[in-house]
Copies of this chain bind each other. A is one copy, B any other.
Amino acid sequence: MSWSDVTKDPIDPGAVLARVGRPGDGAVAFFAGVVRDENEGRPVSGMEYEGYDEMARDELAGIVAEAAGRAGTQRIAAVHRLGRLAVGEVSVAIAVSAPHRAEAFAAARYIIEEIKKRLPVWKREHYLDREAEWLEGSLPVERGNRGA
Contact = CB atoms under 8 A, between A and B. Distances in A.
Nearest to A38: B24
Interface residues of A, number: 30
10 contacts: A23-B88, A25-B34, A27-B33, A29-B30, A29-B31, A29-B108, A30-B30, A31-B105, A36-B99, A105-B105
Nearest to A27: B33
Contacts of A36: 23-26, 99
Interface of A is mostly: mixed
B31 A27 contact: yes
A56 interface: no
A35 interface: yes
Contact of A27 (B24, B34, B87, B88): B34
Nearest to A15: B14
B21 A26 contact: no
Nearest to A102: B109
